[in-house]
Amino acid sequence: MLRGRTSAVAALTLALAALTASGCGGSSSKGVATLNWYVFNEPSGSFATAAKKCSQQSGGKYKIALQALPTDADQQRENIVRRLAAKDSSVDIVGMDVNWTAEFGEAGWIEPWSARNAQKVTQGDLPGPLQTAKYKGTLYAAPYTSNTQILFYRKDLVKTPPKTWDEMITQAEKIGPAKGKIQVQGARYEGLTVWFNSLVASAGGQIVTNNGNTVALGPPAVKAAAVIKRLASSPVADPALENNKEDQARLGFESGSSAFEVNYTFAWASANDLVNKAPDAAAKKKAEQFRSNIGFARWPGVDANRPSRVTVGGINLGVGAYGKHKDLAFAAATCLRQPANQVPISVKGGLLPTTASVYDNPEIKKAFPFTGILKAEIADGVARPVTPFYSDISQAIQKSLHPERDIDPQSTIKDMKDKLDKAKKGELF
C-alpha cells in the first residue's frame, strides 16, 4: 500500500469528476443557492427530512440537495475523494465517516471551522464524537451522528454481566458452547480494527500517539492481542469467528446458541423486529421470550479496575474546500446537526446523538432502553487512530491479527508495529 495512491486516484479521475461537477448546479434560477450534501443514502429518510427543514428555515438563502453516496463505507470514500481531489466545486457539504477527518483536513479538501462557528456547532457535544472531528487541534467537521457497541447478554443464562473480557470468557465456558458462545466481529475488515482499538484503549494504551506521528502500541496492545487470542482459542468462540461481521454476530445471538454479543444498537432493533414481524402467534411468543431475556451492559474492559473505553463511529459534516457557497454551507451544516434534528435521526435511523442533552429526550429513552450505557460510553469513547494514513493503518492492523487463532501476543504486536511504521512511510507491508 502506497501513500501516493490518493494522487493517482486524482489524476485518473480528474476528467470524470469535472464532468460530474458540471451536472450539479450551484444555484437556482431564482438566486436561491443549491447546496449539494454528499452523504450515504440513509434509509429511514431522516437525512432528507433534516435537509428539507433546514432549507425552509434558511428563509430562501439556500436549498440543500442530497447527493447519495454508496452504502459501503470504502465506496463512499472513493467516490468523494475523486471529487475533492479534482477540486469539484459541486461538493458543498460532505457526510464524512469519522475516520476521514485527518486525511481530508491534511489534503486541504475540507475547510476548517472558524473559532466562532466551531463554538456554535459543538455546543453541548459529548467529548467522544468531538475528538473525531478534530485534527491537529483544529475543528474540521461538525459532529453529526455517533455510534458505539455495547454488550448484549442472556439474562436467563447470566446472573451478573461481566466487567472484563476474561470474566466474560470464563462465564461463557461455564455455560458451555451449546448456549454460551460469544459473538463478536472477527472477519478481516474494519470491525476487527474497531475491536482491537477498543481493547487497546481499555487497557490504557493507544495505537498511535495523539499527534498521529508515532506508533505507540506497547504492553496495552499485547494485552489486547492476548484477549483476542484467548477468545479465538476458546470453545465458546463462534466457529465462524474469523469470517463474522456485525450481522453474522446478530444472527448468532438470535439463534439461541450464544450468551453474549458485542454489537451496535441495531441488534436491539432486530430483536424488536422478530416480535413485530413474527409470522404467527407461536413465533411471536418465542420472539417475545427471547427479547425479554436480553440484558444490556457496558462493553467489557480489559483490566478489572479500569472501565472500558469503546471506539466511537458515526458521521461528521465537512464543508468542501472548493464549493461556491462556503458561508452558507457552514450555516447549513450547523442547522443539520442541531439537537431537534438529532432526535428523529436517532429514533428512526438508529444513528445516535452527539449532543449530551438529547439523551434525556423521552423518545430516545424509549427507543434505546440502554440509553445511559450509550451516553456514558460515547462520552468517554475513543477515536480510531487520527492520521491521514488511517486506511493503510487499519489494513496493517487487520493483516497482523487475522486469523485470530494464529496470534502470538508478543510477536504479533512486534509484527504489527513494523507494518504500521511502513504504512506511515508509504512503504509496502
Q: Which helix (H) or strand (E) holds 97?
A: strand 93-97
244 phi, psi to nearest 5 deg: -85, 135
Q: Which three cell numbers stand for residue 402?
A: 487475522
Q: 186: pLDDT confidence band, cut at 50, 70 and 90?
A: very high
Contacts of residue 387, defined as CB under 8 A and 6 or more positions apart, other chains included, come to 102, 103, 208, 212, 393, 424
Q: Any idea what DSSP says for residue 295?
A: E
d(CA 205, CA 63): 45
Mean pLDDT of the chain: 92
- Residue range 28-48: mean pLDDT, rounded: 88
Q: Which residue has the higher pLDDT, 26 or 348?
A: 348
Does the fold of domain 150-311+389-425 match that of domain 5-147+314-379? yes
Checking if the pLDDT of 21 tops 70, the result is no
Is it the case that residue 261 has pLDDT exceeding 70?
A: yes
Neighbours of 31 (CB within 10 A): 8
How is residue 423 written as a grid cell? Answer: 504504512
**Mean pLDDT score, 36-56:** 96
Q: How far apart are CA 404 and CA 230, in angstroms?
A: 9
Cα–Cα distance for residue pair 260/246, rounded to 1 Å? 13
Question: Which of 172 and 5 is assigned the larger pLDDT?
Answer: 172
Residue 20, pLDDT > 60, answer no
Statement: residue 244 has pLDDT above 90: yes
Q: Write down the pLDDT at residue 31.
A: 85
φ and ψ at residue 60, rounded to 5 degrees: 85, 5
Q: Kindly report, residue by residue over 310-345, the tens digit of the pLDDT.
A: 999 999 999 999 999 999 999 999 999 999 999 999
Domain locations in the chain?
A: 5-147+314-379, 150-311+389-425
pLDDT score of 211 more than 80:
no
Structure confidence at residue 382 as a pLDDT band (50, 70, 90): very high
Q: What is the DSSP string of 142-170?
A: EEEEEE--EEEEETTT-SS--SBHHHHHH
Question: Considering only the top CATH level, what class is 5-147+314-379?
Answer: alpha beta
The CA distance from 267 to 136, in Å, is: 35
Does residue 105 have a pLDDT over 90? yes
Q: What is the mean pLDDT of residues 122-144?
A: 95
pLDDT-based confidence at 214, cuts 50/70/90? confident
Confidence label for 9 from pLDDT (cuts 50, 70 and 90): very low
Look at 31 and 101; give whichever has higher pLDDT.
101
Task: Kindly state the cell numbers that stand for 418.
Answer: 513494523
Share of the chain above pLDDT 90, in %: 87
pTM: predicted TM-score of the whole model, two decimal places = 0.90
Question: How many separate helices (H) and strands (E) can be counted in the chain?
Answer: 18, 11
Q: With the C-alpha atoms ordered 121, 126, 129, 133, is the resulting torsion angle positive or negative?
A: positive
Q: How far apart are the first and last CA of the chain?
A: 7
Whether the pLDDT of residue 262 is over 50: the answer is yes
pLDDT at 137 over 90: yes
The mean per-residue pLDDT over the stretch 168-172 comes to 98
Q: What is the pLDDT of residue 384?
A: 95
pLDDT (tens digit per residue) in 284-319: 999 999 999 999 999 999 999 999 999 999 999 999
Average pLDDT over residues 393-418: 97
Rg (CA), the chain: 22
Question: Phi and psi dihedrals of 208, rounded to 5?
Answer: -130, 160
Pick the CATH number of 150-311+389-425 from 3.40.50.10320, 3.30.70.520, 3.40.190.10, 3.30.70.3270: 3.40.190.10
Q: In what order do the strands lie in the sheet with 294-297?
A: 181-183, 258-263, 150-154, 294-297
Amino acid 4: pLDDT: 38
pLDDT at 363 over 50: yes
Q: Residue 97: what pLDDT?
A: 95
Sign of CA dihedral 278, 280, 285, 286: negative
Q: What is 57-82 written as a DSSP string?
A: HTTTSEEEEEEEEPSSHHHHHHHHHH
Q: Is the pLDDT of residue 90 over 60?
A: yes
Cα atoms in the 13 Å half-sphere on the side-chain side of 134: 19
